[in-house]
Amino acid sequence: AAAFAPPLVSNNVVSSSALSMSKVERNPNFTKLIGGYLFPEIGRRRNAYIEKNPEMASRIISLGIGDTTQPIPEHILSGLVSSASKLGTKEGYSGYGAEQGMAELRKKIADKLYGGIIKDSEVFVSDGAKCDIMRVQQVFGSRVVTAVQDPSYPVYVDTSVMMGQTGNINPETKQYDNIVYMPCTDENNFFPDIENLPRADIVYFCSPNNPTGAAATKEQLEKLVKVCKERGSILVFDAAYAPFIRSEGVPKSIFEIEGAREVAMECNSFSKYAGFTGVRLGWTVVPDELTFADGSKVRDDFNRVMTTAFNGASNIVQGGGLACLDDEGLAEIDTLIDYYLENAKLLKEAMESIGYAVYGGTDAPYVFVKLPEGKSSWDTFSEILEKAQVVTIPGAGFGPGGEGYLRLSAFAPRDTVIEACSRLKETLG
C-alpha cells in the first residue's frame, strides 16, 4: 500500500532490458520512500487527465501546489533589475559573496522583520526554506528522532527518510517507523497534544500551517517551547507563511516566545512574501544559545554546512531581498498578501455556503476543507478534477492525519478563484 496514493509512475525500478546497470547499490533510504514527492504526483495526475481529455485542457484551474501567481511588484522588481545591471559594470561587478549572505541583507532581515530580537550574525541567507530544511537535516544527521505535525508539509518527513532516520513505512498506519507523528486535526484545534506524545530530538513545527492553515496562538507556542525545553528537544520552526498573519497577537516568529532562543531555530522564505517562488531567496535563524548536548553551538555546524555545500544566494536575488525590506517593498508585499487572503476568503465562503466545515484561510493562504465522514481525499481530488477541472490537493498527501480533508490554495488569479468557487459549489453542493 502506498503512503499517499498508488503512484501513476513507479518510483522504483527502470525496465532492465534496455539499459546496462551500474554496480552501485541504491541508497537504501531511497527505497523506503513511497511514490514520488507529493506535488509532482499531483502534476502527473493532472497531466494524465488532460491526456485522456484534451478538450478539457483549457478549463483546468489550479488550486493545487501553493505557487504564487501575481507578478513581482515594481519596487521589488527594481531591486532585482538594478542588482542584475550592476553586474555588467566594472565598478558594480561582484563574484562569490559571503556564504551566509550579504551583511546588509542579514542586518535588514534582523531589524525589519524581527525588530532586533535576533542578531544579524544569526541570520543565514539562502536559496529558500525547502533547501534549508535539507541543510538542517544534514546538521542533525541520521541518528536523531524527528517529530512532525500530521498532516504537514511533506519535506520534513521525506528528508528524514532520505537521511536514514526512519524505518520503513507501516502499510497499515501509513506512517514511517521512528518518526513521531503529532496529530493536528479539527479534534484538537490543529495543535498537537505534545505533552502526551513521545519525545523526539527534533520537532518540526509550521505556523501558519501548510496544509491546515492553522496559525498557532502565543499560548500554544509557549507550551511548545516549554515542552521542547523540558525534554531537551530542538524545535525547527517553519515561518514561511508568517506575513499572512493578520489576527492580533498571533506570533509571526518563534522568537517572540520567551525562552525560544535556547530551543529553536527558524526557517523562513521570501517565496510567499514577495512572489519569489521562482526567484529563490530564504533564510534560517540559528540563535547563539542553541546548543547540542556537548555544549557546541548548532549555529557553528549550520555555518559549516552553508560554507561547505552552499556558495551563497545569488547576488541578483539578494538585491531583490533588500528591496523587499524597504518601506515601499513592505507595502507592496502587504498588497500581495491582501490579494491572496481575499482569494482565501472567497474559497472559504464558497465551501461554507454548501455546508462544509472549513478551517484556515484567515491567517494563511490555505483553506482546509473537512470532507463528509468516510469520503476519501484522493477520491474527492479525482472527482473534482474530472467533474469541475479544478486541481486541489488531497489532505492524505500531507500524511495520514490529513485524510478526510482537502486543501485549496489561494495562490491563483482572482478570476479563476471566482470561477473555481462556482464550479466547486456546483460539483460538491
Q: Closest separation between CB of residue 151 and ligand PLP, Å?
A: 11
Q: Closest separation between CB of residue 129 and ligand PLP, Å?
A: 4
Give yes or no for residue 365 binding ligand PLP (CB under 6 A): no
Binding span for ligand PLP by CB under 6 A among 41-49, 113-121, 125-133, 307-315: 125-133
Q: Closest separation between CB of residue 284 and ligand PLP, Å?
A: 10
* Integer Cα distance of 281 and 108 in angstroms: 14
Type of residue numbered 65: I
The answer to whether the beta carbons of residues 230 and 195 sit under 8 Å apart is no
Q: Tell me how far CA of residue 421 lies from CA of 138, 314, 387, 415, in angstroms.
A: 42, 39, 13, 10
Site for ligand PLP in 18-77 (CB under 6 A): 66
Give yes or no for residue 210 binding ligand PLP (CB under 6 A): yes
Give yes or no for residue 206 binding ligand PLP (CB under 6 A): yes
Q: Closest separation between CB of residue 210 and ligand PLP, Å?
A: 4
Give yes or no for residue 238 binding ligand PLP (CB under 6 A): yes
* Integer Cα distance of 31 and 38 in angstroms: 16
- DSSP 8-state symbol, 258: T
- CB count, 10 Å around CB of 157? 25
Give yes or no for residue 269 binding ligand PLP (CB under 6 A): yes
Site for ligand PLP in 276-295 (CB under 6 A): 277, 282
- DSSP 8-state symbol, 113: I
Query: Scanning the structure block, which residue is given the C-alpha cell 474527492?
Result: 380
Q: Cβ closer to ligand PLP: 395 or 428?
A: 395
User: ∠ CA(119), CA(328), CA(241), 5° rounding?
Assistant: 60
Give yes or no for residue 130 binding ligand PLP (CB under 6 A): yes
Residue in 153, 181, 190, 398 binding ligand PLP, rule: CB under 6 A: 153
The beta-carbon contacts of 306-311 under 8 Å, at least 24 apart in sequence, are 306/99, 306/100, 306/124, 306/126, 306/135, 307/99, 307/100, 309/135, 309/138, 310/99, 310/126, 310/127, 310/135, 311/96, 311/99
Q: Closest separation between CB of residue 192 and ligand PLP, Å?
A: 16
Q: Closest separation between CB of residue 66 and ligand PLP, Å?
A: 5
Binding span for ligand PLP by CB under 6 A among 47-55, 73-81, 123-131, 346-354: 123-131
Q: Cβ closer to ligand PLP: 99 or 238?
A: 238
* Integer Cα distance of 389 and 236 in angstroms: 37
Q: Closest separation between CB of residue 396 and ligand PLP, Å?
A: 17
* Integer Cα distance of 366 and 215 in angstroms: 11
Chain residues in the site for ligand PLP (CB under 6 A): 66, 128-130, 153, 206, 210, 238, 240, 269, 271, 277, 282
